[in-house]
Amino acid sequence: MSINKKILTKSTSDKPLTVYDCGTTQYRPMLDLQLELVEQRIAGQIDNTVLILEHFPSLTLGANKTKNILLESEENLADDKIDIIDIRRGGGATAHNPGQLVMYPILNLKSLRLGIADYIRQLEETGIQLLKTLDITAERSKGNPGLWIGEKKIASLGVKVKRHVTYHGIAINLNNDLSIFKNIVPCGIQNVTMTSAKEQTGNQVDIQKAKSTLADIALDLWA
């Protein structure tokens, strides 16, 4: 499956960055694209790149096996057309579906003079700033990755770095059906309740506008 990428915005400063809108995609082809772009970035064949998209229903399992907790059988999930993918990013199980905005930065951290901890804080900041434009105040929670509104989680993070180049990223719940999270223990955190921008405000989020806003935030941080 090929993935159509449309340029959302581009910087040609001393820190070039291109942000693409990848539409709504299956998870596996997007993972393949990330891995391809990581190798190209390591080789210096492309500039720093950000992919913004939605995923069809899928559950991803992270590198921390103790945090990969499924609450439904794989057979039943398959019947519900929910894909399950075992990947090597940080964190535990999480869920994706349309209406959730996902961002995958393919960034050479050395080119940005960033350490991994600083990068993760900036990745969190992209979600904080996007949600702020929707009149939602999201916060970090010490020891609990992601973004939170009180005790409810609105965004999940999972990061992998290869030879200073990042992939995977952040998933922010905007309009998505939250019932998909009932199939897992999100990120292995017991009794966590997921929320979304729509649930918090009662308003449907304009996804295309949110994509453009997120692209501008990425440019401000990394270009």
Q: Which residues are catalytic?
A: 187
In 3D, which of 93, 73, 220, 88 has the Cα closest to residue 156?
93
List C-alpha distances in Å: 51 to 98, 105, 142, 192, 223. 16, 6, 27, 28, 15
The answer to whether the beta carbons of residues 15 and 223 sit under 8 Å apart is yes
- Strands 94-96 and 152-162: what pairing? unpaired
Count of helices and strands (H, E) across the chain = 6, 12
In 3D, which of 116, 106, 143 has the Cα closest to residue 30?
106
CA 59 to chain centre: 13
